Amino acid sequence: MTQTITETENPWIDAPSGTGPVLTANVKADGKTIEEMWDAHRFSLKLVNPANKRKHTIIMVGTGLAGGAAAASLGELGYHVKAFCYQDSPRRAHSIAAQGGINAAKNYRNDGDSVFRLFYDTVKGGDFRAREANVYRLAQLSVDIIDQCVAQGVPFAREYGGLIDTRSFGGAQLSRTFYARGQTGQQLLLGAYSALCRQIDAGTVEMHPRTEMLEVIVVDGRARGIVVRDMISGAISSHFGDAVVLGTGGYSNVFFLSTNAKGCNTTAIWRAHRKGALFANPCFTQIHPTCIPVAGDHQSKLTLMSESLRNDGRVWVPKQGDDTRAPDQIPEDERDYYLERMYPAFGNLVPRDIASRAAKRVCDEGRGVGPGGLGVYLDFSKAQGGPAAINAKYGNLFDMYERITGENPYEVPMRIYPAVHYTMGGLWVDYNLMSTIPGLFVAGEANFSDHGANRLGASALMQGLADGYFILPATLTDYIGANTLPPVSADHPAVREAEASVNERVQRLLDVNGTRTVDSFHRELGQVMWDYCGMSRNGEGLRKAINRIPELRAEFWDNVKVPGINEDLNQSLEKAGRVADFFELAELMCIDALHRNESCGGHFREEYQTPEGEARRDDDNYAYAAAWEFKGVGLAPVLHKEKLTFDYVHPAQRDYR
């Protein structure tokens, strides 16, 4: 049952029913309501004798919010944890860049919040493509996360009375977002990192920074270890354990330009996917509407400006295309405040996906501003209270904007444009966060579980910490308690095979010795993805991309230039390995986007929209998570479906007019 991707109209294979892994959430809570489910499920989980825990080794890849929190918590339980990250310190994981905050259903404001409401909002915000059981648990745990972080010394913003301040964020009608000025992500990560430090000092966690995972070792059908490359010496070695956890973040960098850190990559989850872990909903990407636009060809990454700016700024473009006048020379009646015009009820505060698509639309009409015509104005000249009030609220953001663009946003309107920011898709996991490879767990942005087709603001931090602090310690223990896991020998054929494949791949990259840099390929791939699988997609474009990507990939393997040797700090080699994996992932994203004949959340298919230009979901045919099975490079992947049922939140059309 193999066919190549390019030779068919539908470059994928629908798994005949009854074949392949059974995709059920594995919730063991028969007859319980959603409120009781996590408790009942936890009661069903196996335990491990405290004295025995130190005999079990857990491999943790990635030490951001999810991985770092899990490594620390598992170490506290007494497990022997071997943690790996590509950064020089766990404190640098990209969780650090989250600005806005973290949601929690504390209802400190007495504004009607509850666990159920946070659950409801998250399912609805995800456009009904998330698993209810997981989302409910997330909302339940949100409350404990705040307690845990406060105990660690996370300096949340406070009121004068000494209580924690909260704010409304991302268009939510409740003030349920906890924050630490504009660096909530950094402060939460420092909390997890400090807990991790304590365990490193205590000897339960063995930390391996500047070490990149390049392969999963699967022995007798179970994940038992990883092959890593020491990024300083180039040494390739294997590490074994009773279970492997991937907390390696998202894959927005497939677009080259994104708000992710330069090092963020898909390698860990893609290698696992190649070894049998299903990849769910890869096309669900989130575009953030307020980023600083691209300034030129040299651009290496995009910078996010907090969404809160839309509370006071007005978004506009000139009514006429190709208008090269300075913004203050364009009279009021020649400006198009398009969000206010199109969405009079919500105006500039429409959700992220809607604001992003509207910006793209006006720029596609040739009315964009700034270099390349890819930008819209965010204007504060008429903001309430004048420059002084604006400075008090957004002073640091204005400084950052000026630092990057060299323009003073108090005098000239800001220019913004949408950018890729988060990926909801990821490895498919069950309720225990275990992938379809037994013993391989996936946490945080790397899994697909909680956000459906669109993530709400301030929910990413919540998910990473819920997975790491509270869910994995329980579910991993169950896996270890329930299974007998004999030690793996370094001579096992599966280990040899994994190491050989890593060595072979590294050598292959070094041997090409072509004429193009890794970055030039990455940029070109990113452009294809942005054009055809970005903010809005259509069948024709996706087919183009599906044809173009293999060509580009072939050229990459034929003509890339990776200087230097393996036995060295070789940043070009690191990048090359990651880009090679992005090439394979990119194809799957396009296939997923093409197969999903509906629009939902961050996935907007131009063919499937309402007459008003809004996303049109197809719940009858697509209320499932699309979990893809790898069949080989260039071969059609096999689609498995996890049916999503909505017993508590009933699907409805979103309307912001």
Residue 566 near another protein by CB under 8 A: no
* From 32, 42, 335, 561, residue interacting with another protein (rule: CB under 8 A): 561
Q: Which is nearer to another protein, 197 or 460 (CB)?
A: 197
Report the DSSP pairing between strands 57-61 and 80-84.
parallel
Decide: residue 484, CB within 10 A, 0-12 exposed, 13-18 middle, 19+ buried. Answer: exposed
Q: Which is nearer to another protein, 302 or 440 (CB)?
A: 302
**Going residue by residue from 20 to 59, which x/- string records binding to another protein, judged by CB under 8 A?**
----------------------------------------
| Both tokens assigned to 560 | 């890339």
* Contact in structure between 12 and 637 (CB atoms under 8 Å): yes
Residue 470 near another protein by CB under 8 A: yes
Q: How far apart are alpha carbons 119 and 128 in whole angstroms?
A: 12
Q: Which is nearer to another protein, 326 or 345 (CB)?
A: 326
Shortest Å distance, C-beta 174 to another protein: 17
Residue 73 near another protein by CB under 8 A: yes
Q: How far apart are alpha carbons 342 and 327 in whole angstroms?
A: 22
Residue 272 near another protein by CB under 8 A: no
Give residue 588's Cα distance to chain centre: 16
Q: Catalytic: which of 222, 224, 229, 352?
A: 352
Which parts of 165-204 interact with another protein (CB under 8 A)? 180-181, 183, 185-187, 190, 193-195, 197-204
Give all strands (DSSP E) within 297-373, no chain letters: 314-318, 335-336
The strand pairing partners of 560, in sequence order, are 516
Q: How far apart are alpha carbons 449 and 445 in whole angstroms?
A: 9
The backbone torsions φ and ψ at residue 131, rounded to the nearest 5 degrees and listed phi first, read -90, 120
Shortest Å distance, C-beta 162 to another protein: 3
One-letter amino acid for residue 72 of the chain? A
Q: Which is nearer to another protein, 563 or 613 (CB)?
A: 563
Residue 89 near another protein by CB under 8 A: yes
The strand pairing partners of 336, in sequence order, are 317
DSSP 255: G
CA atoms within 13 A on the CB side of 467: 35
Active site residue 341: no
* Contact in structure between 219 and 95 (CB atoms under 8 Å): no
Q: Which is nearer to another protein, 72 or 317 (CB)?
A: 72
**Going residue by residue from 118 to 157, which x/- string records binding to another protein, judged by CB under 8 A?**
--------------------------x-xxxxxxxx-xxx
Residue 395 near another protein by CB under 8 A: no
Which parts of 490-549 interact with another protein (CB under 8 A)? 515, 517, 519-520
* Contact in structure between 54 and 79 (CB atoms under 8 Å): yes
* From 57, 63, 87, 432, residue interacting with another protein (rule: CB under 8 A): 87
Residue 114 near another protein by CB under 8 A: no
Which parts of 569-628 interact with another protein (CB under 8 A)? 569, 571-572
| Both tokens assigned to 518 | 């890794």
Q: How many residues does the chain have?
A: 657
DSSP 94: G
- Spatial neighbors of 497 by CB under 8 A, at least 6 apart, are none
Q: Which is nearer to another protein, 156 or 279 (CB)?
A: 156
Shortest Å distance, C-beta 260 to another protein: 8
* From 163, 490, 500, 554, residue interacting with another protein (rule: CB under 8 A): 163
Shortest Å distance, C-beta 106 to another protein: 7
Shortest Å distance, C-beta 513 to another protein: 9
Q: Active-site positions?
A: 352
